[in-house]
């Protein structure tokens, strides 16, 4: 349950998404857990404004094939490339932070299929060189978001017998991220819990 700025409390049930609602509530509902990336970006803006940490999103790599300079360097042919690293990185208390955010509609496990071996390699390097590496994983069905240390995912990716990490194991090994209005995803508390506990 979260408080909206007007003070109303509003609890969202999965079923309520299908009902027709007044526009403001349906927007709130649509925002909730429906766009993990947007939520992370908003949270990052909040943390930066509050002078806490700096996380930036890497732009999507695009391979430019043709540029029309007669139109002021307008790109007329290009294609998306696969991200060979992760989506986010930055700095907190001098430490290097690197993470990938993934969302799943699956109710029982997080499928590893949409993590590339390049990303796994990248995260292994981050850990090797002393950085902090994790995944932010959203289970859309439960509207729950977890921070899970990358080493756990890497181990599962390379040595696991299953092609997915069971939900109950993520609950056990990961850290539930508290959701609210601002920051939308308080993943900093999870970082503190996981990596900065005295």
Q: Which residues are registered as beta bridge partners of 145?
A: 138
Candidates 5, 130, 161, 197; binder of its own copies (CB under 8 A) is 130
**Structure tokens given for 5:** 């700025």
Q: How far is the CB of 179 from its own copies (least distance, A)?
A: 24
Determine the interface stretch with its own copies among 10-18, 35-43, 96-104, 138-146 (rule: CB under 8 A).
96-104
Residue entry with tokens 């001098």: 94
Compute the distance between CA of residue 124 and CA of residue 127 in angstroms, rounded to an integer.
Answer: 5
Judged by CB under 8 A, does residue 89 bind its own copies? yes
What burial class does residue 69 get, using C-beta atoms within 10 Å of its C-beta: 0-12 exposed, 13-18 middle, 19+ buried? exposed
Determine the interface stretch with its own copies among 50-58, 106-114, 146-154, 159-167 (rule: CB under 8 A).
50-58
- Cβ contacts of 128 within 8 Å, gap of 6 or more: none
Judged by CB under 8 A, does residue 46 bind its own copies? no
Pick from 82, 43, 12: nearest CA to 178:
43
Phi-psi region of 94 (alpha: psi -120 to 50; beta: other; left: phi over 0): left
Judged by CB under 8 A, does residue 53 bind its own copies? yes
Would you say 13 or 82 has its CB closer to its own copies?
Answer: 82
**Structure tokens given for 24:** 């403001």
Candidates 85, 103, 119, 138; binder of its own copies (CB under 8 A) is 85
Judged by CB under 8 A, does residue 31 bind its own copies? no
The answer to whether residues 59 and 95 touch, using CB atoms and an 8 Å cutoff, is no
Query: Looking only at residues 108 through 127 of this chain, which bind its own copies when binding is defined by CB under 8 A?
Result: 122, 125-126
Query: Looking only at residues 139 through 168 of this chain, which bind its own copies when binding is defined by CB under 8 A?
Result: none
Would you say 3 or 58 has its CB closer to its own copies?
Answer: 58
Judged by CB under 8 A, does residue 58 bind its own copies? yes
- Cβ contacts of 118 within 8 Å, gap of 6 or more: 82, 83, 84, 85
Determine the interface stretch with its own copies among 16-24, 30-38, 69-77, 177-185 (rule: CB under 8 A).
69-77
Residues that bind its own copies (CB under 8 A): 48, 51-54, 56, 58-62, 64, 72-80, 85, 89-98, 122, 125-126, 128-131
């Amino acid at each position: 349950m979260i408080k909206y700025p007007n003070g109303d409390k509003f609890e969202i049930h999965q079923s309520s998404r299908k009902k027709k609602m007044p526009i403001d509530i349906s927007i709130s509902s649509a925002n909730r857990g429906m766009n993990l990336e947007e939520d992370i970006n908003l949270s990052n803006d909040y943390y930066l404004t509050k002078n806490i940490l700096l996380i930036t999103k890497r732009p999507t790599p695009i391979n430019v094939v043709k540029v029309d300079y007669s139109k002021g360097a307008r790109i007329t042919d290009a294609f998306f490339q696969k991200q060979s690293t992760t989506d986010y990185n930055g700095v907190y208390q001098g430490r290097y932070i690197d993470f990938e955010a993934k969302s799943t509609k699956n109710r029982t496990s997080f499928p590893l299929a949409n993590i590339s071996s390049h990303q796994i390699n990248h995260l292994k390097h981050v850990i090797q060189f002393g950085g902090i590496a994790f995944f932010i994983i959203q289970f859309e069905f439960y509207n729950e978001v977890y921070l899970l240390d990358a080493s756990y995912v890497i181990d599962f990716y390379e040595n696991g017998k299953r092609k997915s990490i069971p939900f109950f194991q993520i609950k056990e090994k990961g850290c539930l991220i508290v959701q609210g209005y601002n920051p939308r995803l308080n993943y900093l508390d999870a970082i503190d819990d996981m990596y900065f506990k005295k």
